[in-house]
Chains A and B, each alone.
Chain A
Amino acid sequence: MTIAIKFFASLRETVGQAENSLNSSSIMTVDDAWREATNSMDMPANMLIAVNMEYVERGARVKDGDEVAFFPPVTGG
């Protein structure tokens, strides 16, 4: 299965990549996707996660074709 990964803002700089595409049958949750994409970096405590542009919690499940985004607290306005 294929999962599209995106990183934004300071997290993109920390992780050193803006996007990635994962092909792995062992990815079940956003935590798995994070580990696979970042080579098991520690997750920042305040990080936000979206699947298909909707906020989710850490253990959320992912499926083939999903877009998973990781980013720091938002600072618009």
Chain B
Amino acid sequence: MHIEILTDVFQPWQWLEQYESARRDVMAGQFGATSVFIGTMRDFNEGDDVSVMHLEHYPGMTEKYLQKIAEEAEERWDIQDSVILHRVGDVRPADAIVLVAVWSAHRADAFDASRYLMEELKSRAPFWKKESLLEGDERWVEKNTPDPGAERLIGTNK
């Protein structure tokens, strides 16, 4: 399990390649499925052009909840390893915001666990986004909308 808050731009595919390579001795042959989710910044939201997103978090509580969520996933599904990386600070269009990866023996556990991690991260981890619009205004993103397709996976913990 690896949880990390990043203050600078990161390259998720490079990061994953290095992570897998560093863990080859313990991981190789153990997993048959890897599910990867990458959240990337758009240059538009709610009909407006967005130039920068300022990501704020609650240091300490964020790590604690990401850890908690990852532990819940490990208890519930048969997974070999999981990773959650999340940016804070100023994020620009096309920058990666979040990387969630799950390794497991079979695809169902990898798909479900990674979807669980993303949904729970979005509803429980204390991050907030403020958008700077191209025309100059700033506004807070007010809420995350739950993914209706993930309902069967979530809502059992707090």
Q: Interface size for chain A: under 10, 10 to 19, 20 to 34, or 35 or more residues?
A: 10 to 19
Task: Specify the chain A residue showing the minimal Cβ separation from B143.
Answer: A73
B128 touches A69 (CB 8 A): no
Given contacts A53-B64, A55-B158, contact A77 B127 (CB under 8 A): yes
User: What number of residue pairs across chains A and B have CB atoms under 8 A from each other?
Assistant: 74
Interface of B is mostly: mixed
Which A14-47 residues have a C-beta within 8 angstroms of B?
Answer: 46
Contacts of A72 in B (CB 8 A): 128, 140, 142
Q: Interface size for chain B: under 10, 10 to 19, 20 to 34, or 35 or more residues?
A: 20 to 34
Contacts of B86 in A (CB 8 A): 76-77
CA distance A49 to B122 in the complex (A): 16
Q: Which of B13-21, B53-61, B105-113 lies at the interface?
A: B53-61
CA distance A6 to B141 in the complex (A): 20
